[in-house]
Amino acid sequence: MIAELILLLMAPSAETYNPECNQEAADRGIQQEMNICAHRDYLLADEKLNAQWKLTSATMKERDESWNSDWDERPGYFASLLEAQRAWIAFRDAHCRVDGYTARGGSLEPLLVSTCKTALTEARTEQLKNLADGPA
C-alpha cells in the first residue's frame, strides 16, 4: 500500500508526459490520440488531487495535534485519512479496470480506463477539499 502511494506521488506530471495529446486528431476520432488525451486528462486530475492531498493531510495533522486523545484510542485524523486514501486508490484502480473491460483487449479499453480514473479522481479531490474545509 505504501508503495502505491509512493508511485502515486512519483507519477509523471501531465506537463512532462509524452507523447503529447493532439486534441485535433482526438476530436476527429483517431483512437490512439483519444487514448493519449484521455490519459493526459487523468494525469492533470491526479496532479490536482496530489495538491489537495497535501492541504488535506496537513489539516488532518493539525487536527491530530489539537485533539485530546487521552480518552480516545481510535486512529487519529491523519491515520484515518491515509487508510481511506489507500482504500480509495485500490477501489479506483479495480473499478476502472472493470469499467475498461467493456472493451477488454480492444483499442478503446485505455480510453475507458483513463476516463473512469479522471472522473473518480476529480470526485475524490472534491471529497478531500470538503474534509479540509469542514468542521474540525
Distances (CA, A) of 133 to 5, 48, 69, 130: 23, 16, 22, 5
pLDDT along the chain (136 residues), means of 10: 50 58 87 94 97 98 87 91 98 98 96 98 98 86
> Cell triple for residue 100?
475498461
Locate the domains of the chain by residue range: 25-65+75-133
**The domain 25-65+75-133 is classified under which CATH number: 1.20.1270.180, 3.40.50.300, 3.40.50.720, 2.120.10.30?**
1.20.1270.180
Contact 96, 113 (CB under 8 A): yes
Which H/E stretch holds residue 25?
helix 23-27
pTM over 0.85: no
In this structure, what C-alpha cell is assigned to residue 84? 481511506
All residues at 6 or more sequence positions from 96 whose CB lies less than 8 Å from its CB, including other chains: 112, 113, 116, 117, 120
Please give the pLDDT value at position 12. Answer: 52
- CA of 126: how far to CAs of 50, 51, 60, 123, in Å? 12, 12, 16, 5
pLDDT at res. 19: 76
Which DSSP symbol is given to 30?
Answer: -
Check residue 2 and give its pLDDT: 56
What pLDDT is recorded for position 17?
46
